[in-house]
Amino acid sequence: MAILLALVAAVAYGLSDFIGGLVSRRASPWSVATVGMCASTVCTALLAAFVTGEPTRADFAWAAFAGVGSGMGAGFLYRGLSQGRMGVVAPLSAVGAAVVPVMVGVVTGERPGAFVWVGIVLAFPAIWLVASTPADEDPLHCDEPRESTTAAVIDGLLAGAGFGVLFAALGQVPDEAGLWPLTLTQAVSVPAVVVLALALRAPWVPRGRYVWWSLGTGPLGTAATLFFLLASQRGYLTIAGVLTSLYPAATVLLAWLVLKERIHRAQALGLALCAFAVAMVAAG
């Protein structure tokens, strides 16, 4: 059941990221994240009103910390998707999102097998290959400047760190806490996005008609985070984290089908190695 819940969370995250990435190409990514997080907060609060629980102060503290990671992850992910290719930003964010909860799981007493450590080691060359750009024009390479790819790599790594914090912190909330801590996570993510946007001097106030399309990411984000929370409560955080981190599969598949995105050979190898690394972690 935990594996199934984590995979459903991955699909929901992938769909949400695809929609958010598309909207971010027509509106400020920070305003897209703000609108999406506000919608997720409302959806989660409606669910929490019908779910009983007895959360503690520690549960709310972990939930607030998770909200900071969620806001950071969404903000940098959408910025990266708006400036770079989904096939680069999404997998890079997944590596960080998988590694952080694995590390936290080990520290808190989980004992994964040797396959997990093999997967973590393989993640590093995978990142290097995904971040690489060909010296000459490659027939599979999109005509993008090196600076665009570099910026996409940075945003992908920062997004991965944020999502890793989200997964690791939210994994500390027990089943008996109910859903109000999760509501706090969504609520805290809103000011987290705003503060980051102000620090980067980026527009975050929703303007224009396109930004409101990101309201569709609200229910998807709520479902994704909820299913991850349930998966982490019913199984190892390490397993829930890495399986949920498969979300780029849905994003990249949609980018390939809808946007006709292409990648060069080294990046293709890196993406395959990323998938293998995450699979090894999950197998462990």
In a domain, 130, yes or no: no
- Predicted TM-score (pTM) of the model is 0.82
> What is the Cα–Cα distance from 102 to 245, expressed in whole angstroms?
11
**Mean pLDDT within 167-189:** 94
Whether 227 has a pLDDT exceeding 80, the answer reads yes
Lowest mean per-residue pLDDT among 115-119, 134-138, 205-209, 255-259: 134-138
In a domain, 126, yes or no: no
Of the pLDDT bands very low, low, confident and very high (cuts 50, 70, 90), residue 87 is low
Instruction: State which of 120-129, 152-161, 164-173 shows the largest mean pLDDT.
Output: 164-173
In a domain, 166, yes or no: yes
Per the CB < 8 A criterion, the answer to whether 217 and 36 are in contact is yes
- The pLDDT > 90 percentage for the chain reads 36
- Distances, alpha carbon 124 to alpha carbons 99, 127, 255, 261, in Å: 11, 5, 24, 24
pLDDT of residue 148: 62
Calculate the CA 173 to chain-centre distance. 19
pLDDT of residue 263: 67
User: Which amino acid, 155?
Assistant: D
> What is the Cα–Cα distance from 24 to 80, expressed in whole angstroms?
9
In a domain, 127, yes or no: no
In a domain, 129, yes or no: no
In a domain, 274, yes or no: no
DSSP string, 87-144: HHHHHHHHHHHHHHHHHHHHHTT----HHHHHHHHHHHHHHHHHH---SS--TTS-S-
pLDDT of residue 146: 52
In a domain, 36, yes or no: yes
Whether 131 has a pLDDT exceeding 60, the answer reads no
Tell me how many domains the chain contains: 1
Domain containing residue 97:
2-109+136-266
In a domain, 228, yes or no: yes
Per the CB < 8 A criterion, the answer to whether 132 and 200 are in contact is no
User: Please, which residues have CB within 8 angstroms of residue 173's CB and are 6 or more apart in sequence?
Assistant: 55, 59, 62, 63, 66, 181, 182, 229, 233
Of the pLDDT bands very low, low, confident and very high (cuts 50, 70, 90), residue 191 is very high
Whether 209 has a pLDDT exceeding 60, the answer reads yes
